[in-house]
Chain A
Amino acid sequence: MTCVPAATEKSLGLVIDLDVCVGCQACVTSCKEWNTGGHMAPLTDLDPYGAKPDGVWFNRVHTYEQETTQGGRTVHFPRSCLHCAEPACVTVCPTGASYKRTSDGIVLVDESKCIGCKLCSWACPYGAREFDTDVGVMKKCTLCVDRIYNDKLAEEDRVPACVAACPTSARHFGDLGDPQSAVSQLVAEREGVSLMPELGYRPTNKYLPPRDRAARTADMAAPYLSEASPQGGFLGWIDRVLSN
């Protein structure tokens, strides 16, 4: 059903820390690997070793250079579905294949209903949806719905694959609808933002902006060395002799 639920019990989503992401692409590859099985799998790769490879990926990491008055900085930017509160991709779908779950707010594609008209990918301003040419349906990040509720996994592994893989803890997972949750507190503390807020889709995922330079310099540097040459005495004489 493509009516967007007025409210969801939880709003599960991700928080991406742009201050810490090093662009290693581990989240990209672990997502691809996890999705070789389970919901929406496999993610097609066409001509992977040939001249024109093309494939479906749910998570892609861009690299930008941001230049401010404080100077330039490289920012690595993971982009995947933001599981918006008012997703246009859900309302435009003509078959009801695209839907937002009322229980946890995850936006999914019902592969058995999708006709591959691509309208949802036109409606998403963030490029979250890709067309799988092999099976003729649209695919997108599932927030690892087949992993987070999976009781065959240990409790600590029931997070999205990308969150588990990140070596710098740049990705966090939780209920952004609960102001007391760890992720919500992180967003409040670091002033996390929504992407393209003016379009009104109210993304659930939040991005933590890079911290100010001024807030983390100087006291990390080594202290200056003390004066090396002694002035007087035997050592001072040795120093003057050896300096000639």
Chain B
Amino acid sequence: MHPAYSVIFFTTATGAGYGLLALLGILAGLGLVPPDLWLGLVSLGIAFGLIATGLLSSTGHLGRPERAWRAFSQWRTSWLSREGVASVVTFVPAGVFAWGWIFLGRTDGWVAAAGVIAALGATLTVIATAMIYRSLKPIPQWYSPFTVPGYLLLSWTSGTLLLVALQHVFGMPSQMWNMGAILLTAAAWIWKRASWRRNDAVGLPVDLNSATGLKSGTVRSIEWPHTEENYLLKEMGFRVARKHRLRLRSFVEMAGFAVPMALLVVALFTPVIAAIALCVLAALIQFSGLLVERWLFFAEAKHTVTLYYGRE
């Protein structure tokens, strides 16, 4: 599938933003968030910033972005519509949470309750985003039980790494959260490898015999309907060479998981100033790794229509 940069940035940024928002909301619910003004401004600013720029970026892949408001209407049947509704609805409790924390200087009571509801909204939005892909039968790499948990794990991992970085910057480092971030990143890494293994083994859900109705024998494409590539081949027939795929996967494993984990481990043992730098670096490096992971998510996906053009 053709990787659209606007969608890649959108899902990675909103994943991290919603992950951070969900964590802040739940922590507030548990009474663990100090009502510090700057902590509130920066952490919610980063969360809202990631979410808002991600959502705006997603309109960049539309043919008619000026009509994007119509996308909120079909929530009864469409996961894309549900994602839009969930993202906008989540802004309400998130806004209340932010207002209470930043302008009223409190993170308890109804502010905390708003935070918890925002956490729920954030999680539902990430699930809806993942379901858009998970529900597409013609694309076996996406139509998989690995897709939704994968999106959630990557959202929580990137959100937790941002949280750990913020904790260090604001002088509240926590060994427990640092180790939690390491474990979560390890879990996401394992899940990613398992997803790749499953995706490499799965073929298309039908064969060319079924696609053409020519049930017996072998069917072979000998002539395309057109000499040049058309929209279908450009959008659904995108291919990436195996050696590039493998190299990019290595980059994802290094930048998305291994290096951030290593930096966090080192940060457990270094003095505070160095630890701040290491945790911020870990979050930034992971973001770059996740952008490549999302690019591969698209590039490695295959669609049944390519069968008609003689591809497996």
Contacts and interface: CB of A to CB of B under 8 A. Distances in A.
Interface stretch (B20-28, B192-200, B207-215, B272-280): B207-215
A83 to B, nearest CB: 16
B139 A122 contact: yes
Contacts of A193: 213, 215
Interface residues of B, number: 58
A136 B68 CA distance: 12
Most buried by A among B84, B138, B226: B138
Contact of A117 (B61, B135, B205): B61
B214 A64 contact: yes
Contacts of A119: 78, 80, 132
A57 B228 CA distance: 13
A75 B214 contact: yes
A209 B136 CA distance: 28
Interface residues of A, number: 70
Contacts of B104: none
A198 B224 CA distance: 25
Contacts of A126: 211, 304-305, 308
Interface stretch (A33-41, A91-99, A152-160, A164-172): A91-99
Contact of B235 (A68, A92, A121, A196): A121
A138 B206 CA distance: 25
A199 B222 contact: no
Interface of B: 1, 61-65, 67-68, 70-74, 76-81, 84, 132, 135-139, 205-206, 208, 210-226, 228-232, 235-236, 303-305, 308-309
6 contacts: A91-B78, A117-B62, A119-B132, A123-B136, A138-B63, A196-B206
Interface of A: 1-4, 18, 23, 25, 28, 52-57, 60-69, 74-75, 77, 79, 88, 90-97, 113-119, 121-127, 130-133, 135-138, 193-200, 207, 209-210
